[in-house]
Amino acid sequence: MFAKYIFPIIFPIILIFVSQILYLGIHTIRLTFTIKGKKQYAVLLSFLEIGVYLIAINLVLTDIKNPAKIASYILGYGLGVLLGMKLDSKLAVGKQTLLMIPKEGCSLILKDFLVETACATTILKGSSKEGEARDVFIVVAFRKNVKKIQGFIDKIAPGTFITVLETRHTYNRNLAQEITDTSLEELEEKLEKAKLDVVGETQGLKSTNASLEILEEKIEETKLGAVGETKVLQDKE
């Protein structure tokens, strides 16, 4: 009974739903490849995209008055967009350019980080609307590395203003190198070690300052004792 009566009704609805999800997922990835100049991948995906689209639209148009098919088409479209965005974020094709303006005092540590990670970096001198000097960092990085860079910058230079721009082409592949989790962990260890060294130096300075204060107090006490002895001698005379 199911195969004879229900399956012919349910199957087209499910097929429309799945086709729309696939169509929009493929469509989003194909657009990404087109924008990034990946012509071969864009062409291959376009064949698959239009094939899936024709299957879905044909099933809807043959029974355009069926509300279940229309609802399935609409729902599949929305979920397909979501799937495409997830796939695009996961694949992270191409490169992006980051414009970064760190807060005052954070430029040096940010520069050291970018040098350590071998990011393609240009530093420009600028000024704020109040006339304060500011460094502007222009960084080219692989898209899959951008979140790693942003997360690490939040640790070492919090409050840095970052703008992310899409980059279609770069003409020197050696400029933007891949950043691995291992390299970031090694850099974080170096940063922690540097912090400990700074803390040690600060404590050493505090100890030195405390010793100087004690020495100054002893000198003052010696001076006061000498003044007292001088007064006693004067009184005897």
Give me the DSSP letters along 180-215.
-HHHHHHHHHHHHHHHHHHHHHHHHHHHHHHHHHHH
Say whether both 109 and 86 belong to one domain.
no
Q: What pLDDT is stored for residue 197 in this prediction?
A: 55
DSSP H helices in the chain: 7-35, 39-61, 67-91, 107-116, 143-156, 181-236
Domain boundary among 55, 76, 91: 91
Q: What Rg, from alpha-carbon coordinates, does the chain have?
A: 34
Structure tokens at 223: 């001076």
Find residue 120's DSSP bridge partners.
Answer: 140
pLDDT over threshold 80, residue 195: no
65 and 115 belong to one structural domain: no
Contact yes or no for 19/49 (Cβ under 8 A): no
102 and 82, same structural domain? no
Q: Is the pLDDT of residue 82 over 50?
A: yes
Asked whether residue 6 falls in the same domain as residue 86, the answer is yes
Query: Are 25 and 81 members of one domain?
Result: yes
Domain limits at 111?
95-179
Q: How much of the chain, in percent, has pLDDT values that exceed 90?
A: 0
Same domain, yes or no, for 197 and 174? no
- Assess whether 163 and 222 both reside in one domain: no
Domain termination site, one of 91, 112, 139:
91
152 & 195 share domain: no
148 pLDDT more than 70: yes
Both 66 and 19 in a single domain?
Answer: yes
Answer yes or no: are the C-beta atoms of 10 and 59 closer than 8 Å: no
Residues 11 and 85 in one domain: yes
Residues 103 and 175 in one domain: yes
Nearest CA-CA partner of 152 in 174, 197, 126, 184: 184
Dist CA 176 CA 196 (whole Å): 31
pLDDT (mean) for 51-67? 83
- What CATH number is associated with residue 130? 3.30.70.120
Residue type, 54: L
* Alpha carbon of residue 120 to chain centroid: 15
Query: pTM here?
Result: 0.58
Cα separation, 101 vs 162, whole angstroms: 7
Alpha carbon distance 59, 38 (integer Å): 32
Among the residue ranges 20-24, 111-115, 137-141, 177-181, the one predicted with the least confidence is: 177-181
Split at pLDDT 50, 70, 90, the class of 199 is very low
Tokens 């698959």 -> residue: 48
Q: Within this chain, do residues 191 and 228 fall inside the same structural domain, yes or no? A: yes
Of 66, 91, 116, the domain-final residue: 91
* Averaged pLDDT for residues 171-175: 59
Count of domains for the chain: 3
